[in-house]
Structure 1
Amino acid sequence: MFDAQYSENVSHPLRVVPLSQLARAGGLGLGAERSYMAPVLFWIAHGQGRLSVGGALRGYTGHNAIFLPANLSHGIEISPRCQGTAVFFAEKSMLPFPPTELHLRMQGVQVQSEMNQLIEELRLESLSDSPDRDLMLFHRAALMLLWLNRQSGKPHVPSVQVSDMLRAIAQPKR
């Protein structure tokens, strides 16, 4: 996968991987602390388990979103009954990543459906062979990260350049 034990000079594209595939690959668990060169998002749709981040142990259940920044040491139990998705982001991208780890317990059918839809659209786009695939992946990933930030109650504050760009887009030309 994108383990920090491998060459740090390798740049990886965005990947959307079912949790069942990670569980089958093995090497995951609380005793197998690891960190990834790139940020990762675990979306737990169903099931439960435990997560260790920086030595702190906590549980997760269905409808939990767990965002881990790059190079953050962690261990995660993914049981065979656990269903969900892991999104491995490109390590050198300009996406609006949350500044710290997030563990969100998504409550309410509307919020859970939105998260499922964001993940599914990202997965489908990653399988596309469209000429604008990379641009679409970037924008879908950015939208998902901004949405997660908003759900956390800590919305992303754009830089001055982005704000100026957005104002220019919103103002009609005369």
Structure 2
Amino acid sequence: MAPKTLPMVETLATHQRTEAWRSDAAQSLDYPILFWVTRGQGRIMVDCRMRGIGPNTAVFIPPHTLFSYEMFAAPQGMVVSLPRDESLGLPRRAALLKATTVQMQSDAAGLIDALARELSELRPGQRRAVMAHVMMLGVWLDRALTEQPQEEPGKSDRVLRRFSHVVSIGHRDGKSLGEFAADLQVTPTHLTRLTQNAVGKPASALLQERVIQAACAALRDTDRPVQDIASKLGFSSPAYFTRAFQQHTGQSPSAFRKSRRSA
């Protein structure tokens, strides 16, 4: 769940258990998030680009960025959900960074540990101290980016990045894939070819996964009636929403809500 005014630090395992839906399905958040992987292997999709991840890897994901991830081999790590506050100086673009030196690894782990400790203790000046730790994480990311510049996106990557953003913010509008493609000034066929080549999924599947993620979050975190959620997400009827939701999750909306509330 989103941090309100303070960040949240949790283990990778805890984060995976508490997610609204599957981590390997396309999702996006309205706040920044940092993954710090210390053990295990996996892969992550960010802005419709698939990358491998391993030990001592940091992945920073800004708000409204489409992503998914799969972890293998008993992964360990931390996840830092951050407030959306431009004054903190966090990167504006997604970044995947390998901590190649012991010093880099120690600095990242130490900053996250210090942030977690500060959050666990109610002391005077907690908010200022927490935000100072977050700003230092931003400094760590900036320094790592200086040492490991990210590749400049090509034409196809720029289209995929824009698709990632418009789906992240416009998934509630009930738009068709054709309408999203028109916004990007490409054809649905071309857009699907790009996503299929980049992440092995058609563009329509990424859009559907993002909509279902939003539905799961609404069912888990609110008491809004199912029909209201269906309408908000652009479904023509509650029955159509229920069929689509059950097809993707294996549960009806009401059964999903009940299982998450009792977990």
Q: Does 2:14 align with 1:21?
A: yes
Deviation of 1:67 after TM superposition, in Å, equals 0.3
Question: Which position in structure 2 is the counterpart of 1:106?
Answer: 99
Question: Which position in structure 1 is the counterpart of 2:67?
Answer: 74
Q: After superposition, what is the alpha-carbon deviation per residue over 1:42-99, rounded to whole angstroms, capped at 9, x for unaligned?
A: 0001111110112211110010000000110100113471111111111245200112
CA RMSD of aligned residues (A): 1.8
Amino acid at match of 1:71: H
CA distance in 2, matches of 1:98, 1:152: 9
Q: Percent identity?
A: 27
SS in 2 for 1:36: coil
Retained in 2: the 8 A contact 1:48–1:82? yes
CA distance in 2, matches of 1:149, 1:88: 18
Q: Which has the higher contact order (CA 8 A, sep 6+)?
A: 1
Task: Could you list the structure 1 runs, at least 4 aligned residues long, displaced by more than 4 angstroms after superposition.
Answer: none
Question: Which position in structure 2 is the counterpart of 1:60?
Answer: 53
Question: 1:25 and 1:79, CA in 2 relative to 1: closer, same or farther beyond 3 A?
Answer: farther
CA distance in 1, matches of 2:98, 2:109: 14
Structure 2 alignment gaps of length 5 or more:
148-263
Retained in 2: the 8 A contact 1:28–1:78? no
Structure of larger gyration radius: 2
SS in 2 for 1:131: coil
Q: Of residues 132, 153, 164 in structure 1, which corresponds to 2:125?
A: 132
TM-score, L = length of structure 2 = 0.52
SS in 1 for 2:84: coil
User: Going by fraction, where is strand more abundant, 1 or 2?
Assistant: 1
Q: Of residues 138, 143, 155 in structure 2, which corresponds to 1:150?
A: 143
CA distance in 1, matches of 2:96, 2:132: 23
Question: Which position in structure 1 is the counterpart of 2:192?
Answer: none
SS in 2 for 1:62: coil
Retained in 2: the 8 A contact 1:23–1:80? no
SS in 2 for 1:76: strand
SS in 1 for 2:9: strand
User: Going by fraction, where is helix more abundant, 1 or 2?
Assistant: 2
Question: Which position in structure 2 is the counterpart of 1:94?
Answer: 87
CA distance in 2, matches of 1:128, 1:69: 27
Aligned length: 146
Question: Which position in structure 2 is the counterpart of 1:48?
Answer: 41
Deviation of 1:13 after TM superposition, in Å, equals 2.5
Q: Does 2:26 align with 1:33?
A: yes
Structure 1 alignment gaps of length 5 or more:
3-9, 155-174
